[in-house]
Chain A
Amino acid sequence: MTQRLQNDPGLRAWLNQRAALWQQIEARLGKLARGKRHSIEDANAAVQGYRALAHDLSMARRVLPGSRITRYLETNYRRAHILLTRPAHHFFSDLLTLLRDEIPAITRELKGPIYAVSALFVLAIVAGAWLVSTHLELASLFLSEETINQVEAGKLWTDDALNVLPSALMSIQIFTNNIVVACFAAVFGVLFGLGTFYFMTLNGLMVGALFAFTAHHGLGWRLLAFTAAHGPVEMTTICLAGAVGVSLGEALVRPQLATRLASFQAAVFRGAKYIAMCIVLLIVCGFIEGHVSPDSSYPMWSRLVIGWGWWLIAMCLVTGRLWRPHFRQEP
């Protein structure tokens, strides 16, 4: 049947006749793909072209399976399909919806993991501090040799920070590092949540050990002063990222959708929005850590005001209370 049609002069006439139309449709699709504002006529013509391509492709597949003509039609049909089915983008309204509705909703959904990860982190800090204050030699398990030597010499690595790098460059370096840490905390949740637990525990132990070790050498207050302006939001954000990691693990262990993969993907997309918010918070923290924290002209009270003021704003953003008139608590 196919061979007969291939040798049929009618088929060749059909190809010749349709090729001009396909070229027109291809040109129109190219024009539609390039621009964003199109007339109704363009849209209608694209829909008609899509139907024509569907019809011709269906015939080409039957009479010329696997041929260049069929592949050519498939390519253009796919292009038309993508153009006609792509969703509209409304950047600012999408952003507003994300901040006002989606982030608070995600916070409510992740309430359990947030509490669990925060509790684990605090416990790890306490454990690290207790371990090092009880057995000072254990500091080498959590801190680098360079840090230990500096602290033993009565210096903090933060003392000369501004002499080494300008504030803006330091801010970029700091927030980049923090974003990578937050992403690790979330991504390691793929290991059924265990990766995140390990990551949060290790970081908590390190923070606790650092404070205990510096306090032992009389530098605890200076370290506290250094971290007062950026620490509250930074630590909280790492916990929020960890909660996203735990939710990824939970989606794999206890899938809520039809398949484990679908459940995992839904958790990833939900978590990605939360991580995006965490990144914004960490960029501001990086700015504070680069400009305010190493600058000794800021007294302790101003650091506390900046640190806890920013934390309050961040919490209002996370819970939706920043948009109080629109914030609705779901039953």
Chain B
Amino acid sequence: MASMETADTPEGLRIESVTGVELNLAIAGLGGRSLAFTSDFLIRTVAALAWYFAAMFMLEHVFDTHPSEAAYGYWVGLPSAAIYFLYHPVIEVLMGGRTPGKRMAGIRIVMRDGTPPGIGPLLIRNVFRLLDSLPMVYVVGIVACFITQHEVRIGDMAAGTLLVYDEGVEKESVEHLVSQGGAAGLSAAQADLISDVLARWDALDPQARLQIARQALHRLEPGATLASTEAINEHDALLRLAALLRPVESVAAP
């Protein structure tokens, strides 16, 4: 692949492409990493234990009442250990640099030029866990994250990988995008703001989102007064915000 110029910016990494239009990658910090790792740790521990107890139960109660030690090794110990220890390398390779935990944290592994990592880099960064996890609970890796520019552990330095926020604005928002163009009397920036509030509604503090909604309705809703917006409840505020994004002909009267 053709090599691409990269440059560090306050927001992350900027990559120049052949069209001259730059790609921006927001680098995930220790928080995103920790959340992803903890989620993955729980998933693989639960999966390994689930296999362990299910296989044990099957061996002792379904197939054979007196299983040999070898049978325990083959059907209980070995698969459980494989699930626990091979979770990261196998899942990362299969999912192209993501794991369920990383997906939850909204991050993914990429190469420094923004491309998805191949098998080699993914295995390298996992082998270096031997070093990053020393002396316990990833102390070396955490220290490396603190002192490196892109907040990477030694495995990432070795493999040339980065953890970046996966800012995927997915398919469901295309309808919003279209509606932003035809929203009732709103500028694109205003429609964008409303879309953002709606997208983050569940994550916002109830008091804060109600306050934001009241202010937005007061300023953007045709005919709305301060008194009328102060009186609305959370449910109505959500419906009226959503109505603002509909094209002109379908906007319901408040």
- Measuring CB to CB, which residues of chain A are less than 8 angstroms from any residue of chain B? 3, 6-7, 11-16, 19-20, 22-23, 26, 50-51, 54, 57-58, 64, 67-69, 71-72, 74-75, 77-78, 81-82, 85-87, 164-166, 168-169, 172, 180, 183-184, 186-188, 190, 261, 264-265, 268-269, 272, 275
Contacts and interface: CB of A to CB of B under 8 A. Distances in A.
B159 A268 contact: yes
A164 B73 CA distance: 11
Interface in B100-158: 114-116, 120, 123-124, 127-128, 130-131, 154, 157-158
Contacts, number: 129
B19 interface: yes
Contacts of A14: 181
Contacts of B2: 85
Contacts of B19: 50-51, 54
B74 to A, nearest CB: 7
Interface string B50-88: 000000000000000000011001100010000000000
Contact of A268 (B124, B178, B182): B124
B182 A75 contact: no
A86 B188 contact: no
B177 A72 contact: yes
Contacts of A16: 178, 181-182
Query: Which of A67, A68, A71 has the largest number of chain B CB atoms within 10 A?
Result: A68
Nearest to B167: A71
Interface in B145-194: 154, 157-160, 167-171, 173-174, 176-178, 180-182, 187-189, 192
A78 B23 contact: yes
Given A50-B19, A86-B115, A265 B160 contact: yes
A187 B127 contact: yes
Interface residues of B, number: 47
Contacts of B114: 78, 81-82
B70 A169 contact: yes
A67 B189 contact: yes
A184 B130 contact: yes
Contacts of B169: 68, 71-72, 75
Contacts of A85: 1-2, 115
B70 A81 contact: no
A67 B192 contact: yes
B158 A6 contact: no
A6 B187 contact: yes
A86 B1 contact: yes
B195 A68 contact: yes
A69 B120 contact: no
Contacts of A22: 174, 177
B115 A82 contact: yes
A264 B158 contact: yes
B173 A72 contact: yes
B175 to A, nearest CB: 9
B23 A81 contact: yes
19 contacts: A6-B188, A14-B181, A15-B181, A19-B178, A22-B177, A54-B17, A54-B21, A68-B180, A68-B192, A72-B174, A75-B167, A81-B17, A85-B115, A87-B1, A169-B70, A183-B130, A184-B130, A268-B124, A272-B120
B196 interface: yes
